[in-house]
Amino acid sequence: MVIRPMQIHRHIEKKIKTDYFFIEGTIDVDSDYFIDLIKKGFEEESNNNYKTNVGGKMTSWKYLNKNINFLRILNKLIHYLDSNVDLHGYELSEAWGFCLGPNEKTKYHGHAPHMWSGVLYLNECNTPLKFEKIDKSVMPAKGKFAIFSSFLRHGTDINETDQTKFGIAFNIRYTQDYT
């Protein structure tokens, strides 16, 4: 038996343009309720404080997945998305609360392999969430939200203010229809 060395017939590394969506808006939110709830999540043993791309306090990944008040807000976002963007077969994967205080930041990252992701801010802060590749940023304010294709990298610079930013982040995953 003759063993042939490996042969490469084609090797391509190239950037391609791809479709994405980015939606920014505001929605009514009971910030005091969510901030109090999220603060409780920081104290639970399952918290993710300083363990993830969020360089601050964070609840467990699925902390808000069954919270009826969050789901009501999410359903309004989903209704808009379903009416305006051609997406199929998805469900909530994770929803968590976070806060970034002075001298804290969120590392730049994406949420792939999820389908789409979002953030809902609960208060004002002068440290925007940046999406550098698409030249967009979101300035946190009560009820400000962004929903976006999950592969879009985003993050924040160090919070050089004395403000603490509170928010809810979430991921939506693909579902498989076997019928």
Examine residue 74 and state whether it is found in any structural domain, yes or no: yes
Burial class (CB in 10 A: 0-12, 13-18, 19+), 41: buried
pLDDT in tens, 76-95: 999 999 999 988 889 999 99
Examine residue 81 and state whether it is found in any structural domain, yes or no: yes
Is residue 74 within 8 Å of 27, Cβ to Cβ? no
> Mean pLDDT for the chain?
94
Examine residue 14 and state whether it is found in any structural domain, yes or no: no
- Report how far apart the first and last C-alpha atoms of the chain are (Å, whole number): 48
pLDDT in tens, 118-151: 999 999 999 999 999 999 999 999 999 999 999 9
Query: What's the Cα-to-Cα distance from 133 to each of 39, 158, 164, 170, 171, rounded to whole Å?
Result: 32, 19, 26, 21, 20
What is the number of domains present in the chain? 1
pLDDT in tens, 47-73: 999 999 999 999 999 999 999 999 999
Examine residue 135 and state whether it is found in any structural domain, yes or no: yes
pLDDT value at 39 more than 80: yes
Rounded Cα–Cα distance for residues 164 and 54 (Å): 13
Examine residue 7 and state whether it is found in any structural domain, yes or no: no
Examine residue 107 and state whether it is found in any structural domain, yes or no: yes
Is residue 77 within 8 Å of 143, Cβ to Cβ? no
Examine residue 48 and state whether it is found in any structural domain, yes or no: yes
Query: What's the Cα-to-Cα distance from 42 to each of 48, 84, 96, 117, rounded to whole Å?
Result: 8, 36, 10, 22
Examine residue 108 and state whether it is found in any structural domain, yes or no: yes
Residue span of the structural domain in which 98 resides: 22-174
Query: With a threshold of 0.85, does the pTM exceed it?
Result: yes
CATH of the domain at 128: 2.60.120.620
